[in-house]
Chains A and B, each alone.
Chain A
Amino acid sequence: MSEAFETVHADVIVIGAGGAGLRSAIAAAQANPAAKVALISKVYPMRSHTVCAEGGAAGVVQAHDSLENHFNDTVSGGDWLCDQDVVDYFTHHATEEMVQLEHWGCPWSRKEDGSAAVRRFGGMKIERTWYAADKTGFHILHTLFQTSLQYPNIHRFDEFFCTDLIVDDGRCQGVIAIEIKTGDIKVFLGKAIVLATGGAGRVFRFNTNGAIVTGDGMSMAYRAGAVLRDMEFVQYHPTGLPGSGVLITEGCRGEGGILLNRHGYRYLQDYGLGPETPIGKPENKYMELGPRDKLSQAFWHEQRKGNTVPTPLGDAVMLDLTHLGEAKLLQRLPMICSLARHYVGIDPAKEPIPVRPAVHYTMGGIRTDIHTQTEIAGLYAAGECSSIGLHGANRLGSNSLAELLVFGKVAGEQAADHASRQPPCNNDTLLSFAKDKVAELTALREQKGTEKASRLRHEMAAAMEKAFGIYRLGDEMQTGLDTINELRARYKQVNVEDQSRVFNTEFLTTLELGSCLELAQVMATSALQRKESRGAHQRLDDYKTRDDEKYLRHTLMRYSPDGKPILDYEAVNITRSQPKERAYGAAGEQQNKQEGGS
């Protein structure tokens, strides 16, 4: 029997209140001040994972830079799997979003003359990364959250955990949520829904992500009939702290930090990123300023060669910032200093920081068109949960904060516009649909099973790390997928021991695990089927190279009730940049010269 629930009506419903969700809610509230915008989040907005972004947000601003440069860096960084119309829209609108944030009070770091400062970042030809010391995500999130407080038509529902989208007649018209504080179920009905629920890094064991990054929105959309795209592309950030995986920003290298192996050798020169640049004189797209996929892969090789440094928390390489001096470190990288001190007992002004790659970002997500519209009418997606086609096979650092602003705004405006053109919801049909879903939810909560969710979670994360890490092998991936499928079967027998209602985090983490397992299967299947190596998807079996003939295509995955995702592909939108060799360091320079580029 289904339990009773309350219904909340809104025009636009935004799910997730991190950077993308808040930007979206503000855009919707501005576009139509008469519209009721419900902003639903499983945590208070300032706890959202955007808060952890450190290094910065990209937007062309210098006279000797150009939108074309940003376009080219993004497309080659993504190994040509980016939709180029989307990249163009993005580069054209990124800078105005940085300015907008500035007007809203974001404390961007400044140059002496008072203009905004930009720093170097990996894979970016010219410095264009706006930053607020090394807490850029924190400041963007708090600026957006605090700004959102002045819009009376944004109605926040903090600590409401969304479980299922309500789709009727081909239109998305609501969502079911648990009010965490009471355990009561609420049904939100609206005319347009924006998903801004973030990534799914917690599918993997060793990651830079917060506990909440469990792919709930991706899974909800997938189960409701939306398409997941390019899910095999999972980014390893080259510099996480050993043990915890806590992120050590790329901004460290942007400021001139260098990476050393156990012999004190700058090993990146052996991996197509050299020649070595002088210490204290970083050069864009050389050495430590190469893209994340290449740097993480170099670590893997160094580890195999026995060149990494064994530490009590596992193998590492050394990120040396000592030459930057204490004053600059405290000014530009204060949080890094504090994190290093607390979590590995190191003062970066005196000693190098041990680091190793950690899962950081899901390039793939819910497929949308350039207007953030998904397959389902009335459903939009923005930020890490979406796959709008910006990042391709490997995201460049500082493009994701810019993305959530640019496309968060688009999603909010699109949703507000869509909502204004919709007839009122047909309550009876929607509520009867909701009733069935609520009954499933109640059944799971009350189920007496035999499996422990925490156990399944550990096994999933370990299996994914083993089979779908920096390098992948066909037979290992098959074993990984088999394990995930077994875990999915065991999940059906999961037992929620805690039968109380108020703030029942065991039940919520069990639901999160369900989403993670759904996505793990999609990632694994997508990876196994992509028989080439591109960007963050690198194979060591028979498919070591990029195969544009067969795989210059996006992977699509559709949900099927029988538990086996349905695989398909679609063309990449290439407008003017034809695929070529990805080259960095001197090789990149050479390639530029041959093409007569600047």
Chain B
Amino acid sequence: MTIPATDNTSETAPSKSEAGITLEILRYIPGTHSEPTFQRFEIPYVEDWSMLDALGYIKDELDSSLSYRWSCRMAVCGSCGMMFDGVPKLACETFLRDYYPRPIRVEPLENFGIERDLVIDQEPFLEKLESVKPYIIDAMANAPSGKPGAPAGHERETIQAGENRQTPKELALFDQYSMCINCLLCYSACPQFGLNPAFLGPAAISLAHRYNQDNRDQGNADRAPALNEEDGVWSCTFVGYCSEVCPKSVDPASAIQQEKVRGATDWALSWLLPKGAR
């Protein structure tokens, strides 16, 4: 059997396959299938192949109807999250050799609606992300010559005044949380999100925390309502699996704990300080 190299695999892929491996992939095409079912694919075993290479082989050679998201092949675009033997991972960074010779079970990310095959519905996450206002708030007030509450036309002047100072130490306070690639593995790992789809969840909270920790930002109060409501940080029961599966070591669990502390402190201060001083 000849193995044509896929676009993103080696030209030196072996021309003869000695060994094979089995992938059991959850298939679901709305309008065609009444419910999701597993389909088995026997493919050649190539040591260098990532799961993405394997799926590419299936799509090009065995079944062109298999659908999944992918793009960068280098674990930064966040497209190819799926479950391998029940564990959420990026397909581009998961390798056949770590499973061989056992069959591998491939499913769409857990806790999300399935659009088709391995494609999940990401819209709920986009809404959560938007709700935490993941952008610098009131940056102009912090810019060298800026004035609080300045109108939008003021931007020009602040740009010419140059960049804000931010020491490596200040950067380190949020840098790690800015590494989130929105791959959603953490949502698949989160038992709370599984029980309560309204939970804001690990990635959205991490990104809120990223801006809250940024010395250029003054938006803590604007983000507090989303973070402190019932489905915000307090829903987290600190299982910590989100941090375990995160491919970028963002550690959402620590972000959530820190935001809990911030929320509790703000609440306590609200009793101690007169309104307006908070």
Contact = CB atoms under 8 A, between A and B. Distances in A.
Interface residues of A, number: 72
B2 to A, nearest CB: 12
A102 B160 CA distance: 12
B83 interface: no
B115 A335 contact: no
15 contacts: A44-B122, A44-B182, A51-B76, A100-B155, A114-B165, A114-B170, A115-B165, A210-B72, A211-B71, A212-B71, A243-B10, A244-B74, A313-B10, A458-B60, A500-B31
Interface in A44-74: 44, 46-49, 51-52
A517 to B, nearest CB: 15
A210 B73 contact: yes
Contact of A502 (B77, B115, B182): B115
A253 interface: no
A454 interface: yes
B7 A205 contact: yes
B72 A51 contact: yes
Nearest to A133: B175
Contact of A103 (B78, B79, B115, B164): B164
B73 A314 contact: no
A150 B168 contact: no
A105 B216 contact: yes
A139 B176 CA distance: 12
A245 B170 CA distance: 35
B265 interface: no
B30 interface: yes
Given A147-B135, A506-B64, A312 B174 contact: no
A105 B119 contact: no
Interface in B92-120: 93, 115-117, 119
Given A146-B135, A500-B31, 16 more contacts: A46-B182, A105-B217, A107-B178, A135-B76, A138-B181, A146-B207, A181-B115, A206-B11, A210-B72, A211-B71, A243-B12, A312-B10, A312-B12, A338-B75, A497-B64, A502-B115
A43 interface: yes
B18 interface: no
B130 interface: yes
A314 B72 contact: no
B119 to A, nearest CB: 5
Contacts of A47: 69, 71-72, 77-79
Nearest to B6: A458
Contacts of A202: 7
A418 B60 CA distance: 44
A58 to B, nearest CB: 15
Nearest to B130: A149
A313 B73 contact: no
B163 interface: yes
Contacts of B211: 105
Nearest to A212: B71
Given A149-B134, A342-B93, A502-B29, A313 B12 contact: yes
A242 B13 CA distance: 12
Nearest to A54: B76
A100 B158 CA distance: 9
A162 interface: no
A30 B72 contact: no
Given A30-B152, A498-B65, A342 B75 contact: yes
Interface string B1-25: 0001111111110000000000000
B71 A49 contact: yes
Contacts of A113: 165, 167
B166 A243 contact: no
B229 interface: no
A44 B64 contact: no
B163 A503 contact: no
Given A102-B164, A105-B139, A146 B134 contact: yes
Given A105-B136, A314-B12, A506-B65, A43 B71 contact: yes
A313 B48 contact: yes
Contacts of A99: 159, 162-163
B71 A339 contact: no
A117 to B, nearest CB: 9
Contacts of A453: 64
A246 interface: yes
Nearest to B174: A107
A505 B67 contact: yes
Contacts of A103: 136, 139-140, 143, 155, 158-159, 163-164, 216
Nearest to B165: A114
Interface in A196-223: 202, 205-206, 210-212
Contacts of B164: 102-103, 114
Nearest to A33: B152
Interface string A421-464: 00000000000000000000000000000001110011001000
